[in-house]
A = this chain, B = another copy of it.
Amino acid sequence: MTGDENNLGSCPVDRGLMRVGDRWSILILRDLDRGLTRYEQLRTSLGIAPNILSRRLATLTEAGLIAKRRYSQRPPRDEYLLTEAGRDFLPILAAIGAWGRKHNGAGALTRQIDVETGAAIRPVVVDANTGAPLGSRPLKFEYPE
C-alpha cells in the first residue's frame, strides 16, 4: 500500500494514518517539538539515512504537517517547522508516550513538565463532552448511511 491513495475510506483513523502512518514521520514531529528543526540535527538525533530523511520531510511537507523556512539567506539554510496541523498532532505523541511509558517503560525516560506547576504531565485521552477518560464508558460505532 502506498499510503496516500485517494480511495478515502470512512474511517477517520485511517485518514489520519494516511498522513503520519510511519515511525520516522512521528519521530520527526517529536524532534521538531523538542526544538531540533534543522536537517543535520534531525539526521544525527534520529540516526536516519539522509535519503530517507529527505523523503520523509518531503511527504510531511506535502501532507501539510510541517513547512520549510529559510533561516539564513547566505549561505542558504532551511529549517522545518510544525504547521497548525502538525502542532495538533503533538498531543497524540504525548499519549503514545504515556502508553510507551506504561507498557514498555523500563529505565529512565524523558518526560514533559508543566512549566507553571513543575509537575510531569500525565496525558490521558478524555471525551470533551463528559470529561471521562476513554475506556471508562461504553461506546458504540456509528457508520455513515
**Partner of A64 from B14, B103, B107 at Cβ < 8 Å:** B103
Chain B contacts for A98, CB-based, 8 A: 12
The residue of chain B having its C-beta at the shortest distance from the C-beta of A115 within the complex is B138
In the bound complex, what is the Cα–Cα distance between A90 and B17 (angstroms)?
14
A93-145, CB < 8 A from B: 93-117, 119-131, 133-135, 137-145
Known: A23-B17, A30-B11, A123-B125. A113 touches B142 (CB 8 A): yes
Known contacts A8-B106, A12-B110, A13-B97; 4 further A-B pairs (Cβ under 8 A): A12-B96, A14-B100, A16-B100, A16-B104
Q: Mark A1-20, 1 if CB is under 8 A from B, else 0.
A: 10100001011111111110
A interface majority secondary structure: mixed
Question: How many A residues have CB within 8 A of the partner chain?
Answer: 80
Copies of this chain held together in the complex: 2
Closest chain-B Cβ to A31's Cβ sits at a distance in Å of: 9
Smallest CB-CB A-B distances: 5 pairs:
A16-B100, A108-B144, A91-B125, A15-B100, A91-B134
A58-80, CB < 8 A from B: 64
18 contacts between A and B (CB under 8 A): A10-B109, A12-B96, A12-B97, A13-B26, A14-B27, A17-B23, A17-B100, A19-B103, A92-B99, A95-B125, A111-B141, A112-B140, A114-B130, A114-B137, A115-B140, A121-B128, A122-B129, A124-B128
